[in-house]
Amino acid sequence: MIKMSYLATPFLSVWLKGSTYVDPIDGKGFKRFLPYGYGEQRPNVLSPSTLSLERHRLLWLYLQNETDFFEKPLKVLHMAPEQCFLSIFKKMKNLDYTTADLYSPIVDVKADILNLPFEDDQFDLVLCNHVLEHITDDHKAMSELYRVIKPGGLGIFQVPQNIELDKTYEDPSIVAPEERAAHFGQYDHVRVYGKDYFDRLRKVGFKVEEVDYSKKLSPELLEKYCLAKGEILPVCRK
Please state, in angstroms and rounded to a whole number, the distance separating the CA atoms of residues 17 and 31.
Answer: 6
Q: Residue 38: its pLDDT value, please?
A: 79
Task: Provide φ and ψ at 21, rounded to 5°.
Answer: -125, 150
- The CATH class of the 54-237 domain is alpha beta
- Residue 110's φ and ψ, nearest 5 degrees, are -80, 120
What's the distance, CA 71 to chain centroid?
21
The pLDDT tens digits for 89-134 are: 999 999 999 999 999 999 999 999 999 999 999 999 999 999 999 9
**Alpha carbon separation from 77 to 68, 95, 128, 150 (Å, rounded):** 16, 10, 8, 11
> What are the residue ranges spanned by the domains of the chain?
6-46, 54-237
In the chain, how long is the greatest CA-to-CA distance? 49
pLDDT band at 11 (very low <50, low <70, confident <90, very high): low
The answer to whether residue 76 scores a pLDDT higher than 70 is yes
CA-based nearest residue to 129, from 99, 108, 162, 95: 99
Is 0.85 surpassed by the pTM of this model?
yes
23 HSE (CA, 13 A, CB side):
27
